[in-house]
Amino acid sequence: MSRHRVSVAMTSAVHEQLRAHLLRSDNQEDVCLATYRPSTGATRRTAVLRKVVLPLAGEREVHGNASVTGEYVLRACAIAHERAEGLVLCHSHPHGRLWQTMSVPDRDAESSFANLAREITGLPLVGMTIAGQESIWSARHWDRGVGVGIDATDAENVRIVGDRFAVSWNDDLVPAPSRLATQRRSISCWGPSVHDDLVRRSVLVVGVGSVGLDVVLRLAATGVTRIGIMDFDAIEEGNLDRLIGVTTTDVWLRRTKIEIARRLVLETGTAQALDVQTWDHSICEPSGLSQALDFDLIICCVDRPWPRAVLNAAAYTDLIPVIDGGIAVDVFPDGNGMRNATWRSHVIRPGRPCMSCNGQLKLGAVAADIEGVLDDPRYVTGHSDPAGHEGGQNVALLSISAAAGLLTQYVSFNVAPGGMGDPGPLQYVLSTNTLERLRSTSRRHCPYEAAEGDGDSRRPLTGRHLAAERRRHETAGRHLTRGLRVARFIETVLWQTRLHLAVVADGHVGSASVDL
């Protein structure tokens, strides 16, 4: 098997259960087993931890080191098999601080069970180690070779989704990026170690309209090293009053949103090795979701019910937190005057109500969106609020506030200022200029939250997305006049020249690493 990316994700509840067992008061090593389901993206496979299987009396020995009996492994394998899940072997290094490499005894212990676990469960054994001093996890998937030749692929990170987002990093695979002079003010906000962690967390922004474009540019300016952008739309005249940085030339040359967003991100980004990937897909397409599963965190900047339902599901099934929000402008019925405007933001994740439970996704509108009838005037006539929002009014003066709401959630969730993480759903009301903390609870039978940790066993929500297909077809088959083709070529060369100049400038300004 060729080299591939692997990782592990778990909820804070699972983490706490494992931690409570593995980190002993007598500082001896301990061991236990768990189950997982795979979550397979385009280039990364994540083991999503599901059930902790603690040892029964006599099933493991603690003697400075710790060892498990074959009976315990077989019992846990049987549980995993019955649940169509894989096996996880966890142990502790009480005195460890950072990502742990495998000692020879650790490697022998895990490899001795790796074949058995795969034979019974059909999935590779996942090994995990918790370093006791700062509860840092390390992990590997025993997914290469068989028999005596079985070998492990080291994970690139282990993610814990709770009130705050905690990530343990394998510095060999994902080294901390250089801290640059251009980032000095940002780094000073939270310190170098937080910055090193934050900027390595890959972020996918779905939808680069007025809010998404602003969000993605600010992530890039902060120094985030891996950014994904997904949008299938082209830039249109009607976007120009809200997409900052987009010009009439872009409309004239029929640029797509991801083309321009990528350019602006590359111009704005401060990371030395900025990796920007773009897709003209919908998240509703299987290919779109597959790409999304490669990211650590997603920011949802789309307002249609179907893509929001797909992202709502992924937050639970694949433990990829989704920061979501939006803006609603309320105008008087005759169209003269603004009655109010509100913008909301929230983190969708296990432990918080899903988008439907908190009132931000009308599941009843999803089928109509899938069918593509939400834009049908006859349909809209019969439904005052078909897509869950009123008229789609938006203005650049306020969309920045919606973007700020999302980024506030992003900072709170990732950085946890003062130890406080995800604040819960927030809403700003413009008419009264008040920030409200919204109270919402999960419905008892919510089918989205019930699918927590399902990974690849998730119920399919994706499918053919005709609007995205049509837009790609139009873009691919752009029947550009000779004049437009020449203009596009010239404009591209000019932009590339500007980018090359920026690279040269980087050599003179701000690219020096700083010791912070």
| Interacting residues toward other proteins by CB under 8 A | 82-84, 309, 313, 356-357, 362-368, 370-371, 373, 378-379, 381-383, 386, 443-448, 459-461, 463
Task: Give the number of C-alpha atoms closer than 13 A to the C-alpha of residue 303, restricted to the C-beta side.
Answer: 21
CB of 378 to other proteins, least distance (A): 6
Cβ atoms within 10 Å, residue 244: 14
Task: Return the closest-CA partner of residue 355 out of 285, 416, 401, 302.
Answer: 302
Alpha carbon 165 to its chain centroid, in Å, reads 11
| Structural tokens at position 282 | 């919908």
Q: Residue 507 to residues 180, 276, 500, 502: CA-CA distances in angstroms? A: 12, 21, 11, 9
Asked whether 339 and 391 are in contact (CB, 8 A), the reply is no
CB of 312 to other proteins, least distance (A): 9
CB of 360 to other proteins, least distance (A): 13
Please identify, using beta-carbon distances, which residue of 37 and 179 lies nearer to other proteins. 37
Please identify, using beta-carbon distances, which residue of 339 and 459 lies nearer to other proteins. 459
Sign of CA pseudo-dihedral 177, 180, 186, 189 = positive
CB of 452 to other proteins, least distance (A): 14
Task: Return the closest-CA partner of residue 8 out of 37, 48, 52.
Answer: 48
CB of 463 to other proteins, least distance (A): 7
Task: Return the closest-CA partner of residue 503 out of 273, 278, 276.
Answer: 273
Q: Using CA atoms, how far apart are residues 349 and 353, in angstroms rounded to an integer?
A: 8
Please identify, using beta-carbon distances, which residue of 450 and 499 lies nearer to other proteins. 450
CB of 162 to other proteins, least distance (A): 24
Please identify, using beta-carbon distances, which residue of 312 and 409 lies nearer to other proteins. 312
Cβ atoms within 10 Å, residue 332: 9
Q: Using CA atoms, how far apart are residues 187 and 440, in angstroms rounded to an integer?
A: 35
CB of 469 to other proteins, least distance (A): 17
Task: Give the number of C-alpha atoms closer than 13 A to the C-alpha of residue 21, restricted to the C-beta side.
Answer: 20
Q: Are strands 297-300 and 203-206 parallel, antiparallel or unpaired?
A: parallel
Please identify, using beta-carbon distances, which residue of 460 and 507 lies nearer to other proteins. 460
Please identify, using beta-carbon distances, which residue of 309 and 426 lies nearer to other proteins. 309
CB of 383 to other proteins, least distance (A): 6
CB of 445 to other proteins, least distance (A): 5
Please identify, using beta-carbon distances, which residue of 209 and 386 lies nearer to other proteins. 386
Please identify, using beta-carbon distances, which residue of 359 and 417 lies nearer to other proteins. 359
Task: Return the closest-CA partner of residue 124 out of 137, 138, 113.
Answer: 113
Continuous H helices in 203-359: 210-222, 248-252, 257-268, 286-292, 305-317
Please identify, using beta-carbon distances, which residue of 373 and 411 lies nearer to other proteins. 373
